[in-house]
Amino acid sequence: MKIIFDNSTPAPLAAFLTGHEISMCPKLGWARLGNGELLTAAEDAGFELMISADQNLRYQQNLKKRRIALIVLGSNDWAVVQGYTTVVTDFVDVATPNSYVFVEMPATRRTRK
C-alpha cells in the first residue's frame, strides 16, 4: 500500500509498516500544505492511506468525498505511539478507500515519580 505520513506522524513508525511504500510530507515538498490541499495532493499522487496525529482533521475536512483512507493517531509522541505499533499495523492491513480510524492512546507518555 502507498502510505503518506503527514507532518505530525512520528517517522520511526515507518519501520513497522513493512511491505508498504511510505513517504513523508516534507520529503515530497508538501510540508506547508493545509489539510485539504494535502489530502488532494496525496490522492492525486496515488496514495491510498494517510497517517496523521492531527485529531481535528475529521472536523476540518469533508472526508466523505475522499478516496484516501485515513488513520489518526491519538498522540504524536513516539514514546507513546511505539506502544501501539501492532494496533496501527493491524489497522493499516485492513484499511479500505475512504475509511477512517482513530487510534485511541494517551496524548503523552506518563512518567513515574
Condensed to tens digits (0 to 9), the pLDDT of residues 56-79 reads 777 777 677 889 999 999 999 999
Q: Is residue 108 part of a domain?
A: no
Q: Is residue 109 part of a domain?
A: no
Contacts 24+ apart (CB under 8 A), 32-38: 35/60, 35/61, 36/60, 36/61, 38/6
pLDDT at 113: 47
Q: Is residue 42 part of a domain?
A: yes
Q: Is residue 83 part of a domain?
A: yes
Residue 108 has pLDDT above 70, yes or no: no
Domain count along the chain? 1
Residue 24 has pLDDT above 70, yes or no: yes
- Residue 107, CA atoms < 13 Å, CB-side half-sphere: 2
Q: Is residue 37 part of a domain?
A: yes
Domain containing 32 equals: 2-103
